[in-house]
Amino acid sequence: MIIKFPMSKLSLLLLTAVALAFTSCDDDDDPILGGQYDDDGTVFLSSNTSGMVGILDTKDTPLEIETFMARGTDADGIYYDDDQGNIFQINRSSSTIVEYNDVIDDLDDPNGVDIESESSMDFDNGRGLAYRNDMLVVANDNDSDSTMNAFYRYEITGDEEISYVGMHPTNINLWGIQFFGTSLYAVVDNSDSIAIFDNFLDNAAGDTVTPTRYIQVEGITRTHGLEYNNEDDVMVLTDIGDAGSDSDGALIIIEDFATLSGNVITEADYTRIAGASTMLGNPVDVDYDAEDDRIYVAEKANGGGQLLIFDMDMSGDVAPAEMLPFPGISSLFFYRD
């Protein structure tokens, strides 16, 4: 069964604008036309309070986030599949993964965005979401005596069903995760470290997994988001500091990451962005655009939730290049064709 949601007010206004227009638009990236976002770079956003999914064309002037209604109010990890034009998102309201169909083209559909499929209810505190070879992995974080630190695996089948494969208990608290090759990089929540699980998908369902390697990053209080870009060999991490503070967050930018030896990264090895001007309080997720050298940050604590954008050459106590409100922002994913 296909479920349709009503379109956002913004989409209705855009559709009306098209109906009133008497000349065609020459800008292929105009969101009114749909289908061209990912050519120049697109950011997909989750919220854990608003019940909306956000989409940002990074070449828009001015920058503006379009939205459509999500399956649940509370959502986290998000991934865009360019082959199908679909979004996969962790729906924490019902502990499932939801697949939204042909999203960019359907932003202007008066009937809203379709749900292609939805997984079974298996995890109970899903945070990060990672993809490799038609496999989706959910990072489940232990936040109570009844919740397990574990990875939950799902396979995307030929008929676009999200099928549960199994889970892998682990010995670390989890948040952000990302595949790089066959290795899974994972934030060690409540710490200053990240963990690497080599050949992650070789594990059988039910196998307990332990990190192949830990990397400690000196100067971090509590890391949450991570993004590694092998093109520029850059690792970007977020530090939320004290979760109760809206002023002690930071970005950690580690260049030449693959060349660093040992299991400790010192403060001399990275650039830090932090301070009152940065608006970094609880930066819960991060992504990086290697072509434009821009860093996109999901800032949860300030202004009810904001997408903060920094240039790669920034450092210290510096204001973001751009700030866009997005209530309850919890996760993001950057894609460029």
Tell me if 159 is assigned to some domain.
Answer: no
Tell me if 110 is assigned to some domain.
Answer: yes
In the DSSP assignment, the letter for residue 204 is P
In the chain, how many domains are there? 1
Q: For the residues 166-180, what does the mean pLDDT come to?
A: 97
Which percentage of the chain shows pLDDT scores above 70?
88
- Whether residue 6 is predicted with pLDDT greater than 70 in this model: the reply is no
Q: How many angstroms from the chain centroid is the CA of residue 79?
A: 7
> CA 137, 138, 141 angle in degrees (round to 5)?
145
Tell me if 277 is assigned to some domain.
Answer: no
Q: For the residues 165-176, what does the mean pLDDT come to?
A: 97
Domain region containing 12: 1-19+42-118
Which percentage of the chain shows pLDDT scores above 90?
81
User: How would residue 16 be classed by pLDDT, with cut points 50, 70 and 90?
Assistant: very low
Give the C-alpha separation, 94 to 125, whole Å.
Answer: 10
- pLDDT at res. 51: 96
Residue pair 287/248 in contact (Cβ under 8 Å)? The answer is no
- Whether residue 289 is predicted with pLDDT greater than 90 in this model: the reply is yes
Tell me if 329 is assigned to some domain.
Answer: no
Residue 216 three-state SS: strand
- pLDDT at res. 194: 98
Give the C-alpha separation, 139 to 98, whole Å.
Answer: 15
- pLDDT at res. 316: 98
Give the C-alpha separation, 193 to 137, whole Å.
Answer: 20
Q: For the residues 194-212, what does the mean pLDDT come to?
A: 97
Q: Which of 2-16, 190-204, 255-269 has the lowest mean pLDDT?
A: 2-16
Tell me if 284 is assigned to some domain.
Answer: no
Tell me if 323 is assigned to some domain.
Answer: no
User: How would residue 17 be classed by pLDDT, with cut points 50, 70 and 90?
Assistant: very low
User: 91-139: per-residue pLDDT in tens?
Assistant: 999 999 999 999 998 988 888 899 999 999 999 999 999 999 999 999 9
Instruction: Report the candidate in 280, 286, 284 with the shortest Cα–Cα distance to residue 303.
Output: 280
Tell me if 315 is assigned to some domain.
Answer: no
- How many beta carbons lie within 10 A of that of residue 283, not counting itself? 30
User: How would residue 145 be classed by pLDDT, with cut points 50, 70 and 90?
Assistant: low
**Which residues are registered as beta bridge partners of 124?**
none
Tell me if 69 is assigned to some domain.
Answer: yes
Give the C-alpha separation, 287 to 283, whole Å.
Answer: 11
- Whether residue 18 is predicted with pLDDT greater than 60 in this model: the reply is no
Give the C-alpha separation, 109 to 100, whole Å.
Answer: 13
User: 30-83: per-residue pLDDT in tens?
Assistant: 333 344 565 689 999 999 999 999 999 999 999 999 999 999 999 999 999 998
Helix ranges, the chain (H): 9-20, 37-40, 103-106
- pLDDT at res. 43: 98
Q: For the residues 161-188, what does the mean pLDDT come to?
A: 97
User: 311-337: per-residue pLDDT in tens?
Assistant: 999 999 999 999 999 999 999 999 998
Q: Which long-range contacts (CB under 8 A, 24 or more apart) does 303-312 make?
A: 303/279, 304/328, 305/47, 305/49, 305/50, 305/329, 306/279, 307/43, 307/45, 307/54, 307/56, 307/65, 307/332, 308/278, 308/279, 308/280, 308/283, 310/251, 310/273, 310/278, 312/234, 312/253, 312/288
**Predicted structure pTM score:** 0.88
User: How would residue 24 be classed by pLDDT, with cut points 50, 70 and 90?
Assistant: very low
